[in-house]
């Protein structure tokens, strides 16, 4: 149940990130056209892009980890015996847990401060609240650490049993990418 909820959340966050990136492309195009054709750029584009990039990144993190989309050095990793590969995977996942847990821990106070102080980015015509991006850093890094925990458990089981590591739970197959 928890794994299915995690998968649903990761896919939902990925979908939101994709929609946001799609909408952001229209903002950037409007800014470029306004700048080039009318010598009037779209005000607040810089601030919208800055905040949106942070949001998009953290919305995708959990899915990237669970789908196996993070960086792997197959040229080195594949040369080791299966047990060593599994041990390296466990070590990498544990480091991922620590890294993202520290980001989560360190991001809580800035998120709460942004909420309490009503912090905004930008000046003049368009001011964007910062707290949604700050809270998404907390949520995204927590989910990233959680997904690395799931990965560590899977790879530890494979290490103990000597079996090959299981495939990512929601890996995108090449046929799905093309279609």
Work out the pLDDT band at 177, boundaries 50, 70, 90.
very low
Q: How far apart are CA 57 and CA 45, in angstroms?
A: 18
Give per-residue pLDDT as tens, 95-106.
999 999 999 999
Instruction: Tell me the backbone φ, ψ of residue 40, rounded to 5 degrees.
Output: -135, 95
3-state secondary structure at position 129: strand
pTM for the model stands at 0.85
Residue range(s) defining the domain that contains residue 174: 2-178
Which tokens is 113 given?
């401060």
Contact 43, 31 (CB under 8 A): no
What average pLDDT does the structure give for the chain? 88
Q: How many domains is the chain partitioned into structurally?
A: 1
pLDDT at residue 167, rounded to an integer: 72
Structure tokens at 79: 């040369």
* For residue 73, pLDDT beyond 80: no
What is the predicted pLDDT for the residue at 173? 53
Whether 136 and 92 have beta carbons less than 8 Å apart is answered as no
Angle at 61 between CA 59 and CA 67, to 5 degrees: 120
């Amino acid at each position: 149940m928890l794994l299915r909820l995690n998968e649903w959340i990761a896919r939902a966050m990925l979908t939101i990130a994709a929609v946001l990136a799609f909408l952001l492309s229209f903002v950037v195009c409007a800014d470029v056209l306004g700048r080039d054709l009318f010598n009037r750029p779209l005000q607040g584009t810089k601030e919208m892009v800055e905040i949106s990039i942070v949001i998009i990144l953290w919305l995708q993190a959990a899915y990237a980890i669970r789908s196996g989309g993070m960086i792997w050095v197959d040229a080195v990793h594949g040369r080791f015996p299966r047990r060593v590969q599994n041990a390296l995977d466990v070590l990498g996942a544990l480091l991922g847990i620590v890294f993202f847990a520290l980001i989560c821990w360190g991001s809580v106070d800035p998120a709460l401060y942004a909420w309490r102080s009503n912090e905004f980015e930008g000046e003049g015509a368009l001011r964007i609240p910062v707290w949604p991006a700050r809270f998404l850093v907390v949520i995204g890094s927590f989910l990233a650490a959680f997904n690395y925990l799931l990965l560590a458990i899977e790879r530890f089981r494979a290490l103990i049993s000597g079996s090959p590591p299981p495939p990512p739970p929601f890996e995108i197959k090449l046929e799905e990418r093309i279609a």
